[in-house]
A and B are shown apart, each in its own frame.
Chain A
Amino acid sequence: MNYNLFKMRFLILIITITLVVSCKKKVNTPVQSSGTKLERCILVLNEGLFQQNNAHLSMIDLDSLEINNLFFEEKTGRPLGDTGNDMQVYDGKIFIVVNVSSTLEILDEKTGASIKQISMVENGIPKQPRYITFNANKAYISCYDGYVDVLDLTLLTLTNRIKVGANPEQLAIANNKLYVANSGGLNFPNVDSTVSVVSLSSELEINKIVVGKNPGPIVVDNQNDVYVISRGNYGSIPSRMHRISSASDSKIQSFPFDASGFCKMKSDLLISYVDGAMNKILKFDAQNETVVSVNFVDVSSISTFYGMQYSTWNDKLYFFDANGYVNAGYVLEYDSNGSYVRKFNVGLIPNKVVVYE
C-alpha cells in the first residue's frame, strides 16, 4: 500500500511540474525608445477599445522608423488606461484625456515623462472627460456628465466646473469665449442640437446656439468664425457643417454637404465626408466660405477612416486608419498638397499625433 501511495505522489509531482513549466509565458520585448529627449519622432495616441485598458502611446522614431507602442508605459511605469480620447500640446506639456479611465495625463513635452495624473472622478463618480482646449493659463476639459472642467495650468489642479449641455464633445475658443458642442449622444435618439457659449471671464454659460442634431467636431478659423458639425442620426438626418459668428453668437450659415469631421489647415478646413461607401476629403476655403476641392486627398486606401490632423510643426497631414477597429491601425502621412508620403503601423485605433521634427 505504501509503495502504491508513493507512486501516486510521484505521479502528482510529475504532473504538477509539467503544468507549471507549461505555464511559462512568452516574453515579447518591445522596441526601446532611445534617449530621454524627444526629437525627430511622432507620438501617436491609440484610443484602444472600451473596457480593455489598452489605450497606448506609440513613439515613431523618424530616423530608424522603429515604433515603440509602449512608450507611455516605459516612461511612467504604468498603463495609460481605457480609451485615450484626446491629446494636445500646450505650454510645454502634453495633455492626454483618457475617457473611460476618467483621467487626465500630463507629460513633459520634451521628454514624455509624467508630470501628473489628474483623476477626473468626483465622489467616486467618473466624469468621463472627452476633449481639451486651452486659453492663457487655463485648460478646459469637456466631460460627458454635462460640464466643462477648468484646469489651472500653474497649479495643475481643477478649479471649476461649468455647466453646459448634454454630453459635450469638442471645444473651441474665439473672442474670449468657449464654444462647446453638446451632442446629447447618450439620449439617442433625442440628442442635443446646441453649442454652449461660455464666457471665459465669468466661467459661466452665457448662450446656447441651436445648430443641428448631435453636434461634435468644432474649430475656429482665422477670422474667429466657429465651425461646427452636427452629425445627425447616422441615418435619415444627414450630417452638416454650420458656421457661427463669434461676434453675434448666432448661426449664420449651414452648408449643404455631408461632413463627418474636419481639421484646420492654415486658412482652410479639410472636411471628411462619406460619398457612397467611400471616404473623401473636401478642401474648404474658410476665408471665402467656398469649396476648393471635393477630393483634395485620395484616402481610398484607408480601410477604416478615423480622422485627420494637420501638424503646424512640419506642415504635414496625418490620417488615421482604425483598420476595422479590432486590428492594429495605421497613421498615414501626407504633405500639405495632399500627396502621400508614408504610413506607420501603430496601435489600436490611432486618433491623434504630436510631431517632433
Chain B
Amino acid sequence: MSLFIAFCSRAQLREQKVREVSVQAQRQDERRIELNSSKIDRKTIQELQPEDLGVLMQKFPGVALKSYGGLGGLKTFSVRSLGSQHTATVLDGFLLQNAQVGQLNLGQIPTNSIECVRLGTSNYQTLSPVSALFGGNELAITTFEGSTSFNSRKIRVSSKYGSFGQFDDYLAFQYAKEKIGITVHGKYRRAEGNYPFRLKVLNYTYDGIQKNNQLEELHSGATLFFRPNSMKQAIRLIYRNTFIDQGLPGATVLYNSYNKQYLNTTQQSFSADWTDKWGLAKVRYYGTYQNDKQIYTDSFYLNQAHLLRKVYKQNNGSLGFSISKNKFGELLTFYGGIEERYAQLNIGSQNSIVPERWQTYANAGLKVNEKKFLLDIRLGYQFVLERDSVGLSFNQRNLFAPALNLESREIGRINWKAGVFLASTSRLPSFNELYYSQVGNKQLKPEEAKQVVLSNGISKSFKKWFFTSKIQIYYNNITNKILAIPTKNLFVWSIQNIGTVHASGVDFVQSVQIQLNENWNTSLMANYSFQRSIDRSSSISPSYGHQIAYTPEHTANIDLSIYRNRTGVRFSSIYVGERFSLNENIPMNLLEPFYTFDLSIFQSFTIKAKHQFNLQVQVKNCADVSYTYVRSFVMPGRNYLLSLNYEL
C-alpha cells in the first residue's frame, strides 16, 4: 500500500510539472486576444459536461439559445440576432448544412470528442472551406477524431451516469505511425428522459412530469490519416455514422399531457481532404457526402389512420479547393477557392416534389500582415440554381459576400488591440420555406445581413495572475427577413420576405486567472451581452419598434473554477433576461428571466505517468429553478451527473 502511495506521489509530482508547463503555454496562447471570436476548449467542456453542443453554445457571448427541452431535443441559436441560418457550422474543416430547415439541431451533436469550439464572425482561416466564408458568423468545431499527431497512440474513454436514467459511454482510439494513422470512435447514449417540471403560467403553477423523453443514440466513425510525402502532404478520410431514436416531449399543454410523437434520425457522412504545399503556396482539395433520413411519427394523429408518418431524406455533397500563397515572407497572403455544393430533399410522399439546389461558391481575398496591423479583405461570389421535380422554381441567383477585417497588433504594456469587421452576407431560404405544402413560397429572396463590429481588447499578465478583457459593439441590419404570415385564414399561411430587423448591442468578455500559490489557482470567466433587436418591418404593425421574439436584452455567464493540485471545483452560471414569445412586447407575451447555476467537483489522478483518470460529480441547476427557453417547453430541474474519464 505504501509503495502504491509513494508511486502515486511521484507520478503526481511529474504530472504537476507537466501541468505547470502546459499552464504556461496556455497563458502565452491566451494572451493573444482573438478579437473576432471566442473559443471554448476541451478542458472547459469536460468541466461543464454539457449534454450536447446546443447547451454549450449558451456559454458564448451574444448567443440566444432556443431549447425545446429534453436530451437530444431541438436546440437552435442566434448570434447577435442573426438566426442560426446565418452561421456557417464547420466540423473539422467541413461545412455542415441542412438544406431542409436551414439550421442544424445542435441537440444532436455530442460534445464528448470536441477539442475546441470557436464562434465568431466569419474570418478567413488557412484553407478553410470556401462556403464557410459566406455566413455572417462561423462556428468551428475541432474534434479528436478529426485531428491527429503522428507517431502517437491515444485512447479516450468516458462513462457517465446521470438523472433521468441517463447513461453515456464514449470510446475513441487513435494510433498513428510516421506516415499513417487511424482513429475509431463510438458513443452510445441512452436515457429514459422523463423529468418532473413546474410550469408557471401567469401566477399559476402547474406541476407535472415531462414525458416521452426517451432517447437512444449511437455515434460512430473512423478516420484515416496519410502523410505520403513527409510534412508536405496530408490526406484525411473521415466517416461518421449517427443513429438517434427519440421521443419528442413537445410543449407542455395545460390539462393535457399526452404526447406520442417520435423522431428517428440516421445520418452518414464521408469527408476527405488533401492538403499540399508548393513552396510558399498551400492548397487543399476537399469533398463531402452526407445523407440524412428522418422519420417523424405521430402515433395518435386524428386522421383516418390515427397515424402520421413523414419521411424526409436529404442528400448533400460538396467538392472544392482552397489555396493560399504568401508573398514577401508573410507580409501578404493571397487566398481563394472554388466550391460546388449540391443538396436534395425527398419528402417521400406520393405527390411531393423533390427540390434540388446547386451552389457554386468562389472567393478571393488578401491578407496583409503588417507589423502594426492586420488587414483581411475578400469578396465572395455565390451562384445558386434551384429546381424541383416539376421544373425550375426560380431563375438563377447571383449573390455577393464582401467582407473586411482590420485589426491592430497588440499595443503597449496592456497589449491593447482594436479592430473593425464589416461584412455583407445572405442566407438562402430553406427547402421548407420554399416548398413546404401550401405554405412555401418559391419566389422568396435570400435574407440579407449587413454587419459592423467594433472590437477592443486588452490583456495583461502579472507575476501571479493575468487577465484578458474584450468588448465588442455591433450593429446588424437584417433585411428581406423571411417570416411566415397568414394570408386568407389561419389555415393558409405564406412565407414572405417582409421583415426588417435592426440589431445593435455590446458583448463584454472578461477572463482572469490567478495562481495563488504553487498548489492553488483559480480562473474566472464572465461575459455579458446586451442586445436591442428592433422590429422595423412595418410602421403600422403593433410590434413596430419592439424587441423581436426570443431575444433577451440581457444575457450573462459567470464561471469560476478553483483548483488545488489535482482537485477542482467549478461554478457555472447562466442568466437569461426577460424575453417575449411574440414580437409584440406586451405582458401576455412576457417570458420571465431565469438564472441557473451548476456545480462540479472533479479529481484527476495518474497511474504510471501516462494513464490519466478524471472523476467528476456534477449538480446541474442546483437551485432547482423552473424555467423555459421557449414558451411552454419546460426544462429539467435539479439533476445529477457522475462521470469517469480515462486518457492515454
Residues of A within 8 A of B (CB): 1, 4-5, 8, 11-12, 15, 19-20, 22-23, 25-26, 28, 30, 49, 51-54, 56, 69-70, 73, 77-79, 81-82, 98, 100-103, 117, 119, 121, 124-126, 128, 144-146, 166-167, 184, 186-187, 234-235, 260, 274, 304, 306, 322-328, 347-349
Q: How far is the CB of B400 from chain A (nearest CB, A)?
A: 33
Q: How far is the CB of B560 from chain A (nearest CB, A)?
A: 6
Chain B residue at smallest Cβ distance from A49: B582
* Cβ-defined contact, A274 with B488, below 8 A: yes
Q: Is B543 an interface residue (CB 8 A)?
A: yes
Query: Which residues of B sit under 8 angstroms from A348, Cβ to Cβ?
Result: 588
Contact with A52, one of B255, B438, B631 (Cβ below 8 angstroms): B631
Contact with B255, one of A102, A167, A349 (Cβ below 8 angstroms): A102
* Cβ-defined contact, B302 with A100, below 8 A: no
* Cβ-defined contact, A186 with B301, below 8 A: yes
Residues of B within 8 A of A (CB): 199, 201-204, 250-256, 258, 300-304, 438, 485-486, 488-492, 514, 516-517, 520, 522, 524, 526, 541-543, 554, 556, 558, 560, 562, 571, 573, 575, 577-578, 581-584, 586-588, 590, 592-595, 631-632
Chain A residue at smallest Cβ distance from B519: A1
* A8→B255 CA distance, assembly (Å): 47
* Cβ-defined contact, B201 with A79, below 8 A: yes
Query: Which residues of B sit under 8 angstroms from A1, Cβ to Cβ?
Result: 516-517, 520
Q: How far is the CB of B547 from chain A (nearest CB, A)?
A: 14
Contact with A124, one of B250, B258, B488, B595 (Cβ below 8 angstroms): B258
Contact with A70, one of B202, B252, B438, B517 (Cβ below 8 angstroms): B202
Contact with B256, one of A28, A49, A101, A306 (Cβ below 8 angstroms): A101
* Cβ-defined contact, B202 with A73, below 8 A: yes
Chain B residue at smallest Cβ distance from A80: B254
Once A23-B594, A327-B541 are accepted as A-B contacts, the answer to whether A73 and B588 lie under 8 Å apart by CB is no
**A interface: dominant SS:** loop
Contact with A25, one of B252, B575, B588, B593 (Cβ below 8 angstroms): B593
Query: Which residues of A sit under 8 angstroms from B594, Cβ to Cβ?
Result: 23
* A229→B560 CA distance, assembly (Å): 65
Contact with A53, one of B301, B543, B632 (Cβ below 8 angstroms): B632
* A101→B256 CA distance, assembly (Å): 5
Chain A residue at smallest Cβ distance from B489: A260
* Cβ-defined contact, B438 with A146, below 8 A: no
* A184→B304 CA distance, assembly (Å): 8
Q: How far is the CB of B170 from chain A (nearest CB, A)?
A: 32
* A166→B305 CA distance, assembly (Å): 11
Contact with B632, one of A22, A52, A274, A325 (Cβ below 8 angstroms): A52
* Cβ-defined contact, A328 with B486, below 8 A: no
* A167→B485 CA distance, assembly (Å): 25
* Cβ-defined contact, B204 with A121, below 8 A: no
Q: How far is the CB of A234 from chain B (nearest CB, A)?
A: 5
* Cβ-defined contact, B575 with A326, below 8 A: no
Chain A residue at smallest Cβ distance from B546: A327
* Cβ-defined contact, B488 with A323, below 8 A: no
Once A1-B520, A324-B541 are accepted as A-B contacts, the answer to whether A28 and B590 lie under 8 Å apart by CB is yes
Q: How far is the CB of A263 from chain B (nearest CB, A)?
A: 16
User: 13 A-B residue contacts at CB 8 Å?
Assistant: A8-B560, A53-B251, A79-B201, A82-B256, A98-B255, A101-B256, A102-B255, A117-B255, A167-B302, A324-B486, A325-B486, A328-B584, A328-B586
Q: Which one of B203, B543, B571, B578 has the highest number of Cβ atoms from chain A below 10 Å of its Cβ?
A: B203
Since A19-B573, A73-B204 are in contact, a sample of 7 more A-B pairs with Cβ atoms closer than 8 Å, ordered by chain A residue number, is A22-B554, A23-B593, A30-B587, A126-B256, A146-B302, A167-B303, A235-B438
Contact with B203, one of A73, A166, A306 (Cβ below 8 angstroms): A73
* A187→B303 CA distance, assembly (Å): 5
Contact with B558, one of A15, A51, A98, A326 (Cβ below 8 angstroms): A15
Query: Which residues of A sit under 8 angstroms from B590, Cβ to Cβ?
Result: 26, 28
Query: Which residues of B sit under 8 angstroms from A125, Cβ to Cβ?
Result: 258, 300
Query: Which residues of A sit under 8 angstroms from B251, Cβ to Cβ?
Result: 51-53
Q: How far is the CB of A325 from chain B (nearest CB, A)?
A: 5
Q: Which one of A4, A77, A145, A167 has the highest number of Cβ atoms from chain B below 10 Å of its Cβ?
A: A4
Query: Which residues of B sit under 8 angstroms from A56, Cβ to Cβ?
Result: 588
Q: How far is the CB of B278 from chain A (nearest CB, A)?
A: 53
* A82→B76 CA distance, assembly (Å): 25
Once A23-B575, A260-B489 are accepted as A-B contacts, the answer to whether A8 and B522 lie under 8 Å apart by CB is yes
* Cβ-defined contact, B556 with A19, below 8 A: yes
* Cβ-defined contact, B202 with A186, below 8 A: no
* Cβ-defined contact, A52 with B581, below 8 A: yes
Query: Which residues of B sit under 8 angstroms from A19, Cβ to Cβ?
Result: 556, 558, 573, 575, 595
Q: How far is the CB of A62 from chain B (nearest CB, A)?
A: 22
* Cβ-defined contact, B253 with A100, below 8 A: yes
In order of increasing CB-CB distance, the 7 nearest A-B pairs are A28-B587, A51-B251, A186-B303, A327-B542, A101-B255, A81-B254, A79-B201
